[in-house]
A and B are shown apart, each in its own frame.
Chain A
Amino acid sequence: GNSVTQMEGPVTLSEEAFLTINCTYTATGYPSLFWYVQYPGEGLQLLLKATKADDKGSNKGFEATYRKETTSFHLEKGSVQVSDSAVYFCALSGGSNYKLTFGKGTLLTVNP
């Protein structure tokens, strides 16, 4: 079956530091890959996505590249802000199957 493994953290960074959150997956076929963000007390929001190999998803300064050869979709941001403090989830859906399989989430705290 499908599975997602992401670094669980917590991750604590200073403002303007570089962020990487690792995500690897196991899936049959060609899944679509997602990063979701959850701010305190809120639901999940789609941050970015990629649907085929070598696609790069990007939004709000965050980027992730669909690497089929390493089955990875690592999240990066060059300079984090305090407002980026949240829980980040890597997820996948397979083909025409709309169900999402999530990683366990990574708590990011950015200090001023």
Chain B
Amino acid sequence: DAEITQSPRHKITETGRQVTLACHQTWNHNNMFWYRQDLGHGLRLIHYSYGVHDTNKGEVSDGYSVSRSNTEDLPLTLESAASSQTSVYFCASAREGRGVGAFFGQGTRLTVV
């Protein structure tokens, strides 16, 4: 079955370190997204991509970057981790079409100490 997987599922890192969270999907979807989930805020969009070599900033993109070198992967990099980036991160993908929704990964719980 096609799926979307995130790794690692849990990570603890120190302030100032660079961290990369992986996202891999096997649906061949062009559209991929990264969200963060925080209590009281729901899910907020960090970055998104509509195809290879396309990347766009979401509403909370400061301190994060993504790259899209192939259809399957959209890694999220925290350039210099900060305590404010402690959160649960979700990757999602969607095919083209109005109202199709998106498929979500299981999430990565990141703690910055």
B: which residues have CB within 8 A of A?
31, 33, 35, 40-45, 48, 50, 58, 90, 92, 94, 96, 98-107
Contacts and interface: CB of A to CB of B under 8 A. Distances in A.
B102 A42 contact: no
Interface in A26-46: 32, 34, 36, 42-46
A102 B43 contact: yes
25 contacts: A36-B104, A42-B107, A43-B90, A43-B104, A43-B107, A44-B90, A44-B104, A46-B102, A46-B103, A49-B101, A50-B99, A89-B42, A89-B43, A95-B98, A98-B33, A98-B48, A98-B50, A98-B94, A98-B100, A99-B33, A99-B45, A99-B58, A100-B43, A104-B40, A104-B41
A68 B53 CA distance: 37
A94 to B, nearest CB: 10
Contacts, number: 61
Contacts of B94: 98
Nearest to B41: A104
A93 interface: yes
Interface of A: 32, 34, 36, 42-46, 49-51, 89, 93, 95-96, 98-105
A51 B97 CA distance: 11
Contacts of A104: 40-42
